[in-house]
Amino acid sequence: MPSKRRALQEINAGSMADIAFLLLVFFLVTTTMDSDWGLARRLPPPLDINQPEPPPIKDRNVFVVLANANDQLLVEGEILEIGQLREKAKEFIANPNDLPDLPEKKPTKVKFFGDYPVSKQVISLQNDNGTSYDLYIQVQNELAAAYSELRNSLATEKFGVTYDYLVEVNDKPKISAIRDIYPQRISEAEPKNVGGQ
Amino acid sequence: MSKFNKGKKKDSPGISTASLPDIVFMLLFFFMVTTVMREVDLKVKLETPEATEIEKIENKSLVSYIYIGEPYDTKKFGTSSRIQLNDQFAKVQDVGPYVEQKRSEVDEVLIPKLITSMKVDEETKMGIVTDVKQELRKVQALKINYATRERLKSE
């Protein structure tokens, strides 16, 4: 029996930093910080042949946005730049002065608001097969922005907070009231192929 | 005779590197937690357009991705926009089965929550995008998301 017990040798931790660095570099290289952001949309269900024709919509209730193969916009028969679309759409959706060529309003019972004149607006969007995807997204974005600006100002007027805030705190009854007044109705017509591919 | 230099020179003590592994580990854990491995090798150029009214996709496991853009290898595949599903090029008709396969992989209750994310290059023409959308409508995959980069709102 040895009289002296040998002291336990400690593991050398000097290379730990190197190993950790190696792993760190691996994760640094493979990492992608981008998360998925995007415009959420819902496609219309497929057309049913047996379905009866929907009732016609009055011209004044439809906001027609056409985009051609040269990335030009025709809005309600008027050539517009993309920067002007938002204001034009807002004016159409809200119709603040009850103009006869903008959408009609129908008093509807809405929670918190009582009888509120809700406009019967529909936005119709049609693009060509040659339209660039960038323009398409810009149009979608401007229209969505028009709705969200109107919703925000209505919510601020009524509840003192923006619509974005209501969404953040998930205040469902108030959100649905605002949505009832400004429902997002963007309809995409079946595409045309005029300008070629 | 300076007042401060007292003949004997003091050795400056070296900086202790004992806490270096801790710092590195901290960084390492940060990257390990935040990292998302790329699911596919992109074969198409992808520069998504910018938008402001965007939402974040919360549950990535419920998303099927469709990539559309100009192929990187233009000598082999030409310059017209192509669709990429998983790791390979596909035709418009393949979109339906692709979505249905994703459906069969997830739990039945989660099927209505499935999202199709379209990652499309901004220079793509709408023709091919519309074709894919029609195909998605046929298989009732109606929740879609157009992937975009964030643009700061100008007030």
Distance from CA of A12 to the nearest CA of B (A): 12
- For position B16, what pLDDT does the model report? 78
Which residues on B lie below 8 Å from A72 (Cβ)? none
Q: Which one has a higher pLDDT value, B37 or B14?
A: B14
* Domain-embedded: residue B27: no
* Domain-embedded: residue B34: no
Prediction ipTM score: 0.75
The domain total for chain B is 1
pLDDT tens for each residue of A48-94: 777 777 778 888 888 889 988 888 899 888 898 888 899 989 888 88
Q: Quick check: A41 and B150 CB within 8 A?
A: no
Q: What residues does each domain of chain A span?
A: 59-188
Length reported for chain B: 155
Domain A59-188 has CATH 3.40.640.10: no
Q: Which of B68, B39, B74 is nearest to B135 (CA)?
A: B68
pLDDT tens for each residue of A5-61: 677 777 777 787 788 888 888 888 877 666 678 888 888 888 777 777 777 888 888
Range of the domain at B137: 50-150
Question: What are the beta bridge partners of residue A42?
Answer: B143
Task: Find out whether A51 and A31 touch, Cβ atoms under 8 Å.
Answer: no
* Domain-embedded: residue B32: no
Report the residue of chain A nearest B125, measured CA to CA.
Answer: A132
The β-bridge relationship of strands A78-80 and A73-75 is antiparallel
Q: Which of A150, A153, A146, A100 is nearest to A125 (CA)?
A: A146
Which residues on A lie below 8 Å from B34 (Cβ)? 31, 33
Please count the other Cβ atoms lying within 10 Å of the Cβ belonging to residue B51: 22
79-138 of B, contacting A, C-beta below 8 A: 115, 117, 120-127, 129-130, 133, 136-138
* Domain-embedded: residue B2: no
Measure the CA–CA gap between B75 and B68, rounded to whole angstroms. Answer: 18
